[in-house]
Amino acid sequence: MKVYFHTTPNPFKVALMIEELGLAPEIVPIDTRKGEQHTADFLAVNPNAKLPAIEDDGQAVFDSGAILLYLAQKHGQFLPAEGAAMGEMLSWFFFVSSGIGPYSGQCVHFTRVHTDSDYATNRYTKEIARHYKVLDERLGKSEWLGGPDYGIADIALWGWVRAAGFVMESQGGLSNYPNVQAWFDKVNARPAAAKAGDWASKFEFKAEMDETAMRAMFPQNF
């Protein structure tokens, strides 16, 4: 298996899943600020030019949520049996995919990259705060996000909560969400989380957000 990786939240979800499953793939770094996601070789794996992606026995799978579901089903782990438990798990899994992830990204974009729209900045800072309030209430009632057992909803969420201090820096990070913080501490105590976090030290990626990086990451704006 090949795993295409960058040190951003969505690839870290897959890193955690890989480590939880005890797999040993080839990790292929893709430097998005250098535009490596737009090369023909990578576009053959993910036509959407985003990270992460995997190749597994000739099968390309892209989008972090799709990869987690694919690996969970293939290896028979981190998903409950069919029925009510599956519905509960998938509801929270897709809450992360359609809510926490996109709103975190937009919050960063309009507080760090394009800060010229007060409306956009206000909308996304308040929306990500609202999403985290939903999370905090859920994790005050349930040991794990998707239900009584650790599963793909937790693995998906971990990638984004790792970045919460950056995403919500002006709002105090996780300080307003004690149940999310307690959950995060539990996930971080898992050996697989420590191993996944170490993926960041394996590679050096471009740090500067210069014009080249802006054009590579937001080509539609130019």
For 24-48, the pLDDT digits (tens) are 999 999 999 999 999 999 999 999 9
Listed by start position, the domains of the chain span 2-77+196-221, 84-189
- Return phi, psi of residue 181, to 5°: -60, -45
Secondary-structure percent of the chain, ordered helix, strand, coil, rounded to 5: 65, 10, 30
Query: What does the pLDDT look like over 14-25, one tens digit per residue?
Result: 999 999 999 999
Cβ-contact 119, 109 below 8 angstroms: no
Q: Is the pLDDT of residue 222 over 90?
A: no
CATH class of 2-77+196-221: alpha beta
Nearest CA among 184, 128, 221 for reference residue 16: 184
Give the integer Cα–Cα distance in Å for 8 and 53. 13
Cβ-contact 2, 53 below 8 angstroms: no
Residue type, 32: T
The strands making up 2-5's β-sheet, listed across from edge to edge, are 26-29, 2-5, 53-56, 59-62
Cα torsion 66, 69, 73, 74: sign: positive
CA distances from 32 to 6, 38, 89, 140 (A): 8, 9, 31, 37
Q: What is 84-189's CATH number, 1.20.1050.10, 1.10.3720.10, 3.30.70.260, 3.40.50.1860?
A: 1.20.1050.10
Peptide bond between residue 52 and the one before it cis (omega within 30 degrees of 0)? yes
| Band of pLDDT at residue 174, cut at 50, 70 and 90 | very high
Give the integer Cα–Cα distance in Å for 197 and 150. 18
Cβ-contact 174, 165 below 8 angstroms: yes
Instruction: State mean pLDDT over 146-167.
Output: 97
**Per-residue confidence (pLDDT) for residue 167, from 0 to 100:** 95
Q: Is the pLDDT of residue 81 over 90?
A: no
**Per-residue confidence (pLDDT) for residue 221, from 0 to 100:** 84
- Beta strands 26-29; 2-5: pairing state: parallel
Query: What does the pLDDT look like over 53-80, one tens digit per residue?
Result: 999 999 999 999 999 999 999 999 999 9
| Band of pLDDT at residue 82, cut at 50, 70 and 90 | confident
Query: What does the pLDDT look like over 102-153, one tens digit per residue?
Result: 999 999 999 998 899 999 999 999 999 999 999 999 999 999 999 999 999 9
Q: Supply the mean pLDDT for the chain.
A: 96
